[in-house]
Amino acid sequence: MSMLSTEERIELKDPREIYAKPPFDQQSKIKMPGKTSEMIPTPNHGESSYQGSGKLRGLNALITGSDSGIGRAIAVCFAREGANVAINYLSETADAEQTANLVDDCGVRSAVFQSDLTSESNCQELINNSVNELGSIDILVNNAAYQETRESVEAFSSDLFDRIFKTNVYAPFWLSKAAIGKLPAGGSIINTASIQGYNPSAHLLPYSATKSALLGMTKGLAKLAIEHGIRVNAVAPGPVWTPLIPGSMEKEKTEQFGANTVFGRPAQPIELAPLYVWLASPEASYVTGEVFGCTGGRTPV
């Protein structure tokens, strides 16, 4: 067996120090859903670090909410693993185009679709458009989410509650339902859950409730989808530095975001995306109905 030389050894770094830590006192509140260009510091999506090895070569993936944050990091990693990527976004066109450029630079195909997923017909159309543009769909990542914070129950309007549920629960259901008949045996659905589904914050009440619902949906859908040879899993992040944070939280909460983890910092999007790569790949062939936590040591999930 050959051994690596000292020069080829991977450099290990203290995980507490490799990315930005609070206070994020230069970050001001931004308009929802938020632009990557307005983030201080800019989130790390693996643009200059992630190296693929062909784990998803030739496959076609649809990733919702992939204009920025976790979704962009997943798109970058999938593309560098050889997958073509359909990029869905709500309103931030410049961010979506930047994600598409990152995908195209990997020598694979991108397709960009602007769509409001609070409509069932829009979700069905998105699946059909992705198939028409890429030729097929092998992987569905239900990543798009919406949240707003309030300080009291009375401050959460029914309209806001409805919007959060339609984005975070109904849309993954509608998209998965539309995709089941198009995904091949061996294909997969991956949902982005949250630590909020296990350890809810009061000021994120509707969002937390949707993530609890998504956990149940993941496990239930896995039992139905496997009848088609399709696996369904979820990733449950803790605090992650994305535009959703300064877009939905007040400045004083944003300044200390992630300080309550054992690392003393939030995750960067690239720290989660490799989990999605593995779950989408044939290497995870015996994995379904599972939830993988990436919470910064805050809680087991």
- pLDDT score at 1: 45
What's the rounded Cα separation, in Å, for the pair 139 and 66? 14
Distance CA 42, CA 73 (A): 13
Provide the 10 A C-beta neighbour count for residue 42: 13
One digit per residue, the tens of pLDDT, for the chain of length 301 reads 455 555 688 899 999 999 999 999 999 888 888 789 998 999 999 999 999 999 999 999 999 999 999 999 999 999 999 999 999 999 999 999 999 999 999 999 999 999 999 999 999 999 999 999 999 999 999 999 999 999 999 999 999 999 999 999 999 999 999 999 999 999 999 999 999 999 999 999 999 999 999 999 999 999 999 999 999 999 999 999 998 898 888 888 899 999 999 999 999 999 999 999 999 999 999 999 999 999 999 876 6
Of 51, 76, 45, 62, the C-alpha closest to 117 is: 62
Rounded to whole angstroms, the Cα distance separating 123 from 172 reads 9
Catalogue all structural domains in the chain, each as residue range(s) with its CATH number. Answer: 53-294 (3.40.50.720)
Predicted local distance difference test score (pLDDT) of residue 8: 82
User: What's residue 277's pLDDT?
Assistant: 98
pTM attached to this predicted model: 0.94
pLDDT value of residue 4: 53
The predicted pLDDT at position 299 comes to: 79
What is the model's pLDDT at position 244?
84
Please tell me the predicted confidence (pLDDT) of residue 301.
66
- Strands 60-63 and 84-89 come out as parallel
Catalytic positions are 207
Going by the DSSP 8-state scheme, the letter that residue 6 receives in this structure is G
Q: What is the structure's pLDDT at 121?
A: 98
Q: Which helix (H) or strand (E) segment is 84 a member of?
A: strand 84-89
User: In angstroms, rounded to a whole number, what is the distance separating the alpha carbons of residues 288 and 276?
Assistant: 13
